[in-house]
Amino acid sequence: MAESSVDVLIVGAGPVGLFGAYYAGARGLSTAVLDSLPEPGGQITAMYPEKAIFDVAGFPAIRGRELVSNLVAQAAPFSPGYLLGQQAIGLERGDDFVVTTTAGDRVRAKAIIVTGGIGTFTPRPLPTGEELLGHGVVHFVPKPDEYSGLDVVIVGGGFAGLYLARDLARVPVRVTLIDRTNHHLFQPMLYQVATAALSAPDISYPIRSVVRRQGNTDVLLGEVVSVGLASREVVLSDGHRLGYDYLVLAPGARHSYFSHPEWELLAPGLKNLEDAGEVRRRILLAFERAEREADPVARQRCLTFVVVGGGPTGVEVAGAIAELARFALRRDFRRIDSRDATILLLEGGPRLLSSYPARLSDRAKQQLRRLGVDVRTETFVTDVEPGYVQAAGWRIPTDTVIWAAGNQASPLLRTLGVSLDSQGRVLVQPDCTIPGHPEVFVLGDAAAYAHQPGYAFLPWICPAAIQMGHHAARVIKADLAAKPRQPFRYHNKGQLAVIGRARAVADLPWIKTSGLSAWLLWVFVHIFFLIGFRNRVIVLFEWAWSYLTFQRGARVITGQWQAEQR
């Protein structure tokens, strides 16, 4: 009678058991694999030696023997011990588990994974979600066509997280998607909510509704505040802990005030619906205050709007405010002419839209000036204070400042303890994982991807995030099929920025244009990427109405709720 000791005993040498040997071995755990059949592979090899299996849910077609051969080869570097031609007939529980086999061998293990073919060995299953390793528990793993036993935790319901979750709909994993809000937000159109062209529900959609047909997906409303890489768990703000086998971090980004966080109260940015609601409130209140102001100097301060940052968001916001003042509001007031409003767009660099070709940047500037926007380049903002903005030695009286000048990744990423770039993004590996942890992906605005020829880092745009989400799903599927991982490759789909009604610039791989043609491209591309049929119909109607009537239907001022005093 032989005795041995391992960290993990895997009962069943089929594909799930062999993958478990690889997975545990890759994390520094010693393993042994027990099976009643004389060779690895279990019934898959016996029943489907040449027949294609896993030919569903995006898995590559693969024969039984080929699958087993790949899994054995992947596990080989970690030297699992094989106890073949034996069955488990006894279990003793103490500090460790001790399993007795039909051959009289005794195997001591800290944890046991049961995958089938186990004879009289019948440990009781534990509640769903209980940790497997490090706690000495027995755990049943379902058959591979039902559930692989792996938990995929996705932090963030933006483009990367949501598209990944949808791609995993028919993959045998359990998905948990965590977000601070209950909705997915189409952020490229957020400025239209801020400038009263659309309402908040037009560009958002409940996450639960998106994935409600996915039986393997749960949604949690909560905020993840830290990640434990060693314990493989995330911690939520309410203290709840959630374990994972794969972790996908796509928490997005916030605006950066370049070491002046105190400016945020005076100059809100545009990253979520709350930001958009506050910007809209300030813009509309500025016109209301001007209507009541008798002092012409104070009135002009109310009617001066400063947009900081000449990237796509700044250009779009400045153009939208100009159209609001020039067209939508011009008949609404009795004491002021909304067309007297001054809209200043301040950019610290030499030109607007620095990521676009110079010709399109110049076109954008021309179109903004035709709308009455005062564009100032090489003008750095040095201070923001109540009633004023300091920029390039110029003191600008204004009550309304909108910030569109920079981005900063989520502070959650700092809890990983890995290398970050100057904007707080994680310097990821070619497959979008973090160094030393192939089970942790960082995607979208949280990832600093420096492995694409022609790019220092990939841009902060939704096509890059969507493609990263698709890539992470492909990697997880490849792992389950025991296939090698492929590096992420970004395919440039181009970029679009709208300046106003029938005014836009388009920098696409197959065309570079401006004006009406670029605007029509912008309209149809954004309608296509909106989630939800209702959203597409409503937004298309709102845009058509605005185009024909020059009106904006979401000019509602809201503020913080307060109880009525009686």
Active site residue 316: yes
Q: What is the SS3 assignment for 409?
A: strand
The single-letter DSSP state of residue 520 is: H
Where do runs of H (alpha helix) occur along 56-131? Answer: 64-75
Phi-psi region of 24 (alpha: psi -120 to 50; beta: other; left: phi over 0): alpha
Out of 316, 347, 439, 542, the active site residue is 316
Closest listed residue to residue 20, CA positions, set 482, 506, 528: 482
Strands 253-255 and 246-249: unpaired
CA atoms of 288 and 267, how far apart (whole Å): 19
CB 202 within 8 A of CB 244: no
Closest listed residue to residue 403, CA positions, set 536, 310, 281: 310
Which residues, including other chains, have CB under 8 Å from residue 5's CB and lie 6 or more apart? 96, 107, 108, 109
When computed from its CA atoms, the radius of gyration of the chain, rounded to whole angstroms, is 29
Backbone angles phi, psi at 426, to 5 degrees: -80, 130
CA atoms of 283 and 341, how far apart (whole Å): 11
Backbone angles phi, psi at 78, to 5 degrees: -100, 5
Q: Which amino acid is at 339?
A: R
Which residues, including other chains, have CB under 8 Å from residue 298's CB and lie 6 or more apart? none
Closest listed residue to residue 96, CA positions, set 210, 222, 193, 3: 3
∠325-329-332 over CA atoms, to 5°? Answer: 145
CB 27 within 8 A of CB 439: no
CA atoms of 336 and 66, how far apart (whole Å): 78
Q: Could you give the residue numbers annotated as active site?
A: 316
